[in-house]
Structure 1
């Protein structure tokens, strides 16, 4: 059986690239996501992380989930609450309902994993947290640059104060991934669930397409964006996804939200 960290990276390449080509991500890197739209996007992230962190807590005694459970270092819910109040005001909780279709589908997927096969939560953790951790500083700078944010405000989501060395932490995380002990069927199911997590992120991005100004990406633009290595794009654009699935927010936006998810 191949290493899980390797299979996750290789198995999610295609859908990862698709997430990076989303309209939302393109506009985020150009600084054309308004604070109001970003504030609503944070609501989507909050729904996802609330479900994920609740599920991880409920399954923390599962031997395999426990390997990748770092609530002190990685949990994002409280940080999101801080940013939500900054962008949306003190009444931001009123924006949690109604839950959008893409948000609900993501929540349902996490809850299904939690109740039927907790090992699959590893896929969601991988896509979200490694992406957030990898691209957080870049994305924070983008937000601050284009929105003239006060120092340290509105970017708590991208701040991992409990992690001294992000590179060392990610290396350790990959080692833990490779220590997961599951049969081949579950191994492949984790990879497939990671792909689905990317798709869930794309679906959330698309809920904001109607708010984005300008023309849709042309075929030429899509090909040009796809041809740029992730590392180069991040360096030149000074990235969600979320995110994601993970090396920058493209994944986290593609999440963290953060998000090269297949880092």
Structure 2
């Protein structure tokens, strides 16, 4: 049987690419999403994550959901609140209504899973949302800062996971937990289908902003260029992270060698000997 993490990835690959090629993401990567539009876009995500994290909390005792329940490390609601105030001001909560059709459809999908006899369906929504944030968040935050002159510590809290030191290792652990989920074949198929639905709900949110974005729809060539740029930046970030880990390990090894060599210094050996004799006396 195919591992659940692999099945989720493969079954959503096409929709994942479609989301990356959306008009909203095209303008995002070109730096043409205004701070005003982005501030309103975050309201959609605030509704989604409020519903998701409430649902996960309500079902945290479910044996299968508990495997991928990491509220301290992954929860995004409080970080979204900080960013919403940055972009929309202290009265941002007044902008939460009315709820748009795409927002409501996403919320309803999550609530349906939460209150059903199979809350394990929430695994699909956690997979789609949190792994996407961990994978692409750094790239998106850099784009926001680059094109809008945003200070490094402002406006991108949503993309920062302060309690996750190494995102790649965390994602690997998360996928292993997915593969430990014990469910029937029927429920497994439903979870995979729910993941596809979650991706579509996310695309629907993007499309609600299409009417505000100027320019012609992307050609197929532009879509592929946009996706290639994303993959290139993801690879570059991964390489930088790997280099940083290697440097950290090298520094630790060098520090250990320095300490050992210092202990062989004649003066240090003599002080150690005298100290030992003093204790013995």
Q: TM-score range by the shorter chain?
A: 0.7 to 0.9
Provide the residue aligned with 2:59 in structure 1: 59
Bigger Rg over Cα? 2
Please state if 1:179 is matched with 2:189: no
Provide the residue aligned with 1:79 in structure 2: 79
Q: Kindly tell me: are residues 235 and 108 of structure 1, through their superposed partners in 2, closer, same or farther at Cα, counting changes over 3 Å?
A: same
Q: Deviations over 1:25-58 (max 9, x none)?
A: 1110111000000000000000000000000000
Q: Kindly tell me: are residues 215 and 157 of structure 1, through their superposed partners in 2, closer, same or farther at Cα, counting changes over 3 Å?
A: same
Q: Kindly tell me: are residues 104 and 94 of structure 1, through their superposed partners in 2, closer, same or farther at Cα, counting changes over 3 Å?
A: same
8 A Cα contact 2:139 2:233, kept in partner: no
Q: Deviations over 1:43-99 (max 9, x none)?
A: 000000000000000000000110000000000000000000000000000110000
SS at match of 2:188: helix
Q: Kindly tell me: are residues 109 and 79 of structure 1, through their superposed partners in 2, closer, same or farther at Cα, counting changes over 3 Å?
A: same
Q: Kindly tell me: are residues 225 and 67 of structure 1, through their superposed partners in 2, closer, same or farther at Cα, counting changes over 3 Å?
A: same
Provide the residue aligned with 2:144 in structure 1: 143
8 A Cα contact 2:73 2:161, kept in partner: yes
Q: Deviations over 1:93-144 (max 9, x none)?
A: 0110000000000000000000112101000000000110112222111111
Q: Kindly tell me: are residues 20 and 182 of structure 1, through their superposed partners in 2, closer, same or farther at Cα, counting changes over 3 Å?
A: same
Measure, in 1, the Cα distance between the counterparts of 2:86 and 2:225. Answer: 35
Provide the residue aligned with 2:123 in structure 1: 122
Provide the residue aligned with 1:199 in structure 2: 200
Gaps of 5+ in 1: 239-263
Q: TM-score, normalised by structure 2?
A: 0.81
- Give me the CA root mean square deviation: 1.5
Measure, in 2, the Cα distance between the counterparts of 1:212 and 1:175. Answer: 40
Please state if 1:44 is matched with 2:35: no
Provide the residue aligned with 2:7 in structure 1: 7
Measure, in 1, the Cα distance between the counterparts of 2:178 and 2:55. Answer: 18
8 A Cα contact 2:21 2:226, kept in partner: yes
Measure, in 1, the Cα distance between the counterparts of 2:224 and 2:79. Answer: 35
**If each structure's helix is expressed as a fraction of its own residues, which one has the higher value?**
2
Query: How many residue pairs are counted as aligned between the two chains?
Result: 236
SS at match of 1:63: coil
Q: How far off is 1:230 after superposition?
A: 5.0
Which is worse superposed, 20-29 or 98-107?
A: 20-29
Provide the residue aligned with 2:221 in structure 1: 220
Provide the residue aligned with 1:28 in structure 2: 28
Q: How far off is 1:20 after superposition?
A: 1.3
Provide the residue aligned with 1:111 in structure 2: 111
Q: How far off is 1:220 after superposition?
A: 3.3
Provide the residue aligned with 2:156 in structure 1: 155
Q: How far off is 1:218 after superposition?
A: 2.3
Q: Kindly tell me: are residues 147 and 229 of structure 1, through their superposed partners in 2, closer, same or farther at Cα, counting changes over 3 Å?
A: closer
Provide the residue aligned with 2:252 in structure 1: none
Measure, in 2, the Cα distance between the counterparts of 1:131 and 1:224. Answer: 20
Measure, in 1, the Cα distance between the counterparts of 2:66 and 2:130. Answer: 15
Q: Deviations over 1:171-200 (max 9, x none)?
A: 110100000000001111111111100000
Q: How far off is 1:19 after superposition?
A: 1.1
SS at match of 2:200: helix
Q: TM-score, normalised by structure 1?
A: 0.86
